[in-house]
């Protein structure tokens, strides 16, 4: 995940994040995550970070599962 903000996430830090619907641009899936690792990116105030989902509603889990299925299908078709 790429984060762009003024403060680098620290390993062990817990955050609430929203995944944006790529078609509408609106927040679509809300998850609680914990940062496992981070590394500075080349762009100023940007970081590559690894997160683990620690909290997600059943409805958002279904949305995420459908999204992952679409990504898997599109990668197989290439």
pLDDT, tens digit (0-9, with 9 covering 90-100), for 27-51: 899 999 999 998 888 887 788 889 9
Question: Is pLDDT at 3 greater than 70 in this prediction?
Answer: no
- Section 40-66 average pLDDT: 90
Question: Is pLDDT at 6 greater than 70 in this prediction?
Answer: no
Question: Is pLDDT at 4 greater than 80 in this prediction?
Answer: no
d(CA 28, CA 1): 16
User: Hey, is 67 helix, strand or coil?
Assistant: helix
What's the domain count of the chain? 1
**Residues of the domain holding 47:** 2-77
d(CA 49, CA 17): 13
- Section 3-21 average pLDDT: 82
Q: Model pTM greater than 0.85?
A: no
């Amino acid at each position: 995940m790429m984060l762009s903000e003024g403060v680098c996430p620290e390993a062990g830090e817990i955050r609430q994040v929203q995944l944006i619907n790529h078609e509408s641009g609106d927040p679509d899936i809300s998850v609680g995550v914990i940062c496992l690792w981070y590394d500075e990116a080349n762009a100023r105030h940007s970081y590559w970070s690894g997160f683990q989902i620690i909290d997600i509603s059943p409805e958002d889990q279904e949305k995420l599962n459908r999204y992952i299925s679409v990504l898997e299908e599109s990668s197989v078709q290439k």
